[in-house]
Structure 1
Amino acid sequence: MSDHQIFSMAFSKIYPLYVQKAERKNRTEEEVIQIIGWLTGFSADGLTKQVDSDNDLATFFAEAPAINPNVSLIKGVVCGVRVEEVEDPLMRKIRYLDKLVDELAKGKAMEKILRS
């Protein structure tokens, strides 16, 4: 695993940014929680514990109960990078999360975001 600076960033610092991005576009924190839960398997309580624990992103994803098997359906560009082409597994998970929150902020329906 390469040593990207983002891997050591605290999830508790990034989570509020996801919520703010969603809320600026008239979406809710509950929808952000639903998206993160779909991707990682964390319950709302489990997610709260992760935010409170101040774990870094590497630990957050390492402790995720179960990455959704449908993540391969997440395609597209985030931060100028195609998520499906990211080679580092941890960076790909981070980009998946970024992409899902971007889709939420762009007004996409939850059914489509969650690949239902």
Structure 2
Amino acid sequence: MPSVASEVRDYIVEELLDENRVCRLIQVSQGTVIILDDDSVSRVTKKLRSEQIIGVTRGLVEIDVISPETIEKTPGLLAFLSGALASRGINIVEEMSAYTDTIFLLERRDMTRAMEVLAQNLP
């Protein structure tokens, strides 16, 4: 199972986060998913061995829906927003929710349509 060496994690934390780059590390069953802005991908992949990399996807955009703190007690928002995007043919590459942030990773070509759909479905 590919894993991210501690020195790579340290590099990501020390360098990329200090530069206010988009950077997310998520532990999954197959290893660690690293979400970066396109400009940081080559910097990080150079520090990994080829067997540690399952795949690289470029050209994604992140849409972050920020909600009030009451969202933690509101059931179904992620399902509602995901359903609204899917019903318009917008593929969600990744989605996650943490505290007040609901984050969608989409193909760049879907960004404008996704923003319109979300604007129509949010108060």
Answer 1 or 2: higher relative contact order, Cα 8 Å, separation at least 6.
1
- Fold shared per TM-score above 0.5: no
Q: Which has the higher helix share?
A: 1
TM-score normalised by structure 1 residue count: 0.29
TM-score normalised by structure 2 residue count: 0.28
Q: Which has the higher strand share?
A: 2
